[in-house]
Amino acid sequence: MASPIPTPADANASQPTEQPTPNPRDPASLLITPAPTVEPLATDAVAQADVLKNPAVQAAVEALAKEMNVPVASITVVSVEYVDWPDGCLGVRLPDTMCSQVIVPGYRVVLEANGQRYTYHTNASGSQVILAEPRLR
């Protein structure tokens, strides 16, 4: 059975072979290109359990559960997409925050709780998790 979580190899396989190299002197070359459409994950309990084995996904689910004060089991993983974030802030602009200008491999994790969807950006290990949308505060 194939893993439902995209990996860097999966992401590279589905992208065009030629991509422009970002030029730090040209800010336009550093812009994030629109992400391809991501297929929703299966919603059965087995598929959800498989997805939660990824530490980055697990960290995003735990962050949302804590923020909303709901049990982890009440949160559904809608989609997971491998992303190379353009900076240390994982592509999320936060007021009064400086971001390191390095590419950070990670995931875009879309979760659902109480009928609302939340998008988290994580690094690959899940040690950094940022709510991208909707902003709760």
pLDDT tens digit string along 7-43?
555 555 544 445 555 555 555 544 444 444 444 555 5
Q: What are 127-131's contacts with CB under 8 Å, separation 24+?
A: 127/59, 128/90, 128/104, 129/56, 129/59, 129/60, 129/63, 130/89, 130/90, 130/92, 130/94, 131/63, 131/64, 131/67, 131/92
Average pLDDT across the chain, whole number: 77
Q: Rounded to an integer, what distance in angstroms lies between the CA atom of residue 127 and that of residue 2?
A: 25
Q: Please say whether the beta carbons of 56 and 107 come within 8 A.
A: yes
* Secondary structure (3-state) at 74: helix
Q: Rounded to an integer, what distance in angstroms lies between the CA atom of residue 71 and that of residue 137?
A: 20
Q: Bridge-partner residues for 104, per DSSP?
A: 85
Q: Rounded to an integer, what distance in angstroms lies between the CA atom of residue 50 and that of residue 3?
A: 8
Query: Percent of the chain scored above 90 by pLDDT?
Result: 52
- pLDDT for position 129: 96
- pLDDT for position 36: 44
Q: Compute the average pLDDT of residues 100-105.
A: 94
Is the torsion defined by CA of 103, 104, 109, 114 positive or negative? negative
- pLDDT for position 133: 87
Would the pLDDT of 76 be above 80?
Answer: yes
Tokens encoding 64: 């949302």
* Beta strand 116-123 pairing with 104-113: antiparallel
